[in-house]
Chain A
Amino acid sequence: MRQFDQELRDLRDGILAMAGLAEHMIDLTIQAIVERSRTKADEVMALDRNLDEWELRLDRLCIDLLALRSPAAGDLRLIASSLKIVPELERIGDHCCNIARRATYVHPPILSTGSLERLGQETRGMVRMAVDAFIGSDAGLARTVIKADDSVDALYGHIYRELLRLMMSDPLTIERASHLILVIKNWERIADQATNIAEEVLFILEGRSAKHAYLHEDSVE
């Protein structure tokens, strides 16, 4: 195997390791909220440092590859998109921390059963699919992620309205609902991050931007 191919493999492996860590943080975040676990929340926040370290390492690798290997075509797209995917994964970690640190402030539960957990699970599913699309070079799966964002947005809107109603009907829920609004906003942002990753996967695979589909004649739809 050529040295350059090995370096590209290192880059892919690094992104997979980073994505695995982000997914683990999402799982722990869901558990921290559901179980009101301070321990798991602390674990999420501790893991964020690893994600930050990966970001620096992979940023460096991408810059080195651009500077030293003069990549072209598919190699260039992989490296350029990696420079965008890596910060998306790092932001997922930040959002997990934002959610986890509110784990003890959102109890006792005020939301209808399972809707918060469902939001977390759907978001987690999107991240998983986006990573799988990257691993498997699966454009179809990447498009599924982009479509799934609408579902998460709808669920977010539904919970948001429910929280508004709760706050209006019972002022005692305002503090918890305020925290929950931030929690669901962070989940919704993680889903956006998964969408962005999926768009980069499409760029890697197809060589044209999938962002802002409304600006293109032939959208990802």
Chain B
Amino acid sequence: MEIEDPRPVPEPVHLQMPPPESGLRPASFVKPDLPLTDPAVLTSPTMVQVERLNLFYGQKQALFDVDLKVARNSVMSFIGPSGCGKSTLLRCLNRMNDLIDDVRVEGRILLGDTDLYAPGTDVIALRKRAGMVFQKSNPFPKSIFENVAYGLRIQGESDRNVLAASVERSLKSAGLWEEVKDRLKDSAQGLSGGQQQRLCIARALAVRPEVILMDEPCSALDPIATARVEELILELKREFTIVIVTHNMQQAARVSDHTAFFWMGKLIETGLTEKMFTNPGHRMTEDYITGRFG
């Protein structure tokens, strides 16, 4: 029973809360910039564009209608189970598949404005623009200096000063300079596994590519060497566009801005890595990254 009372009843305090005082804190406190995505990659122009790409090894089709864009100065990871086509696609990006017999490619891949598979494309020049780093480090049986200078020498560069400057710059970019600057004439074979892989990255950087393609670059490295390469990838992104194939989900999550998931030669889903690893749009992606696939 409500008791009648002629006097006005004040509204409960909690229903009359004054608005929060404004101006007490700077705007940056009010709107924290929390998302992990590098905002630059959201507006970055396209560096690599794959359009309706189909690839056949003889009669067997390995890639099906792949459409994909890689933003300039970003890192994209290709993930997926073995045989899904991720390394095949990576090798298409500098026409490494040309080295395999009976490969047929349909569709288009643009590197900048260049159609990689257009008739008359200079494949050697193309591979200079898209350097490759492989799963197993493969230094030449030469000195550290000569390994890095090799690409420039075969391009015809012989000026000792130019070569020395390029080797130093590349080794610094690969985070190896301080470790090897006093033994550049030593054999590259004497370096540790992690150092050898960074040497291979330096060798790829020496010819100033636009894109660096990495095929499981850390799979043979210990966690410390892996961490160094991953830090290096994040630094190299400022100058280069990087595409990395990895079986290590956490590595894809740590280093890449975008992730593409492949299955049976098809691109199932691609998107911001942050989104792919917290809320993927496709059930198969979810199953794969949570280890429930198959």
Q: Which residues of A approach B to under 8 Å, CB–CB?
A: 2, 4, 70-77, 112-113, 157, 160-162, 164-166, 168-170, 206-208
Query: How distant is the Cα of A157 from the Cα of B9 in the complex, in angstroms?
Result: 12
**What residues of chain A lie closer than 8 Å to B125, measured between beta carbons?**
none
Q: Are A112 and B249 in contact, with the CB atoms below 8 A? A: no
- Pairs across A and B, CB under 8 Å, 25 listed: A4-B291, A70-B249, A70-B250, A73-B279, A73-B289, A73-B290, A74-B286, A74-B290, A75-B290, A76-B277, A76-B278, A77-B278, A77-B279, A112-B1, A112-B2, A161-B9, A161-B12, A162-B3, A164-B9, A164-B12, A165-B2, A165-B5, A165-B9, A169-B3, A169-B5
Query: How distant is the Cα of A112 from the Cα of B9 in the complex, in angstroms?
Result: 18
Contact check: which of A72, A165, A168, A170 meets B277 at CB < 8 Å?
Answer: A72
Query: How distant is the Cα of A169 from the Cα of B290 in the complex, in angstroms?
Result: 63
Query: How distant is the Cα of A221 from the Cα of B292 in the complex, in angstroms?
Result: 34
Q: Are A160 and B12 in contact, with the CB atoms below 8 A? A: yes
Q: Are B15 and A157 in contact, with the CB atoms below 8 A? A: yes
A72-B12 contact given A165-B5, A207-B278, CB 8 Å threshold: no
Query: How distant is the Cα of A70 from the Cα of B9 in the complex, in angstroms?
Result: 56
> How far is the CB of B240 from the nearest CB of chain A, in Å?
27
**What residues of chain B lie closer than 8 Å to A4, measured between beta carbons?**
291
Main secondary structure of the interface of A (DSSP, over half): helix
- The reply on B193 being an interface residue by CB < 8 A is no
Query: How distant is the Cα of A75 from the Cα of B291 in the complex, in angstroms?
Result: 10
> How far is the CB of A37 from the nearest CB of chain B, in Å?
25
Query: How distant is the Cα of A173 from the Cα of B191 in the complex, in angstroms?
Result: 85
Chain B interface bracket (under 10, 10 to 19, 20 to 34, 35 or more): 20 to 34
Q: Are A157 and B12 in contact, with the CB atoms below 8 A? A: yes
- The reply on B10 being an interface residue by CB < 8 A is yes
Query: How distant is the Cα of A160 from the Cα of B10 in the complex, in angstroms?
Result: 11
Seed contacts A72-B249, A75-B290; 8 additional CB < 8 Å A-B pairs: A70-B250, A73-B277, A73-B286, A74-B286, A164-B10, A165-B3, A168-B5, A207-B279
- The reply on B253 being an interface residue by CB < 8 A is yes
**What residues of chain B lie closer than 8 Å to A76, measured between beta carbons?**
277-278
Which 4 residue pairs across A and B have the least CB separation, nearest first? Answer: A207-B279, A160-B12, A72-B289, A73-B286
Query: How distant is the Cα of A164 from the Cα of B14 in the complex, in angstroms?
Result: 14
Report B242-294 residues with CB < 8 Å from chain A CB. Answer: 249-250, 253, 277-280, 285-286, 289-292
Query: How distant is the Cα of A165 from the Cα of B250 in the complex, in angstroms?
Result: 61
Q: Identify the closest chain B residue to A162 (Cβ).
A: B2
